[in-house]
Amino acid sequence: MTMNVINAVAQFERDLLIERTQSGLKRAKSEGKILGRPARLNEMRKQDVLEGLANGMSVSALARKFETSRQTIMRVRDDGSRSVRP
């Protein structure tokens, strides 16, 4: 019986923690704060990546040039192709 009470209190504390975290994130977003990891490439560098791809540079070469991962270059490529399509 004692363990059941302890488990119930622990679950209640966990629920309170989750609720406070979610409300804090919601407040930060409403204040315009950017959450998450900072972007590795700014808009100018993204345009440079798209130009490099248009000129025939490989994804690996661009990743080395901009000191980032191939996945980042592929994400820029995919986002760029979506914005060009009607």
At 56-67, the pLDDT tens digits run 999 999 999 999
pLDDT for residue 86 is more than 60: no
Are 45 and 66 spatial neighbours (Cβ–Cβ below 8 Å)?
yes
Same domain (yes/no): 32, 13:
yes
pLDDT (average), residues 35-46: 90
Same domain (yes/no): 47, 27:
no
Same domain (yes/no): 63, 79:
yes
Same domain (yes/no): 24, 54:
no
pLDDT confidence band for 84 (50 / 70 / 90): low
Give residue 60's domain range: 43-84
Q: Which residue has the higher pLDDT, 20 or 86?
A: 20
pLDDT given at position 83: 65
Same domain (yes/no): 80, 47:
yes
Q: How many domains does the chain contain in total?
A: 2
Same domain (yes/no): 76, 54:
yes
32: left (phi over 0), alpha (psi -120 to 50) or beta: left
Are 41 and 49 spatial neighbours (Cβ–Cβ below 8 Å)?
yes
- Which residue's structure tokens are 């791809």? 53
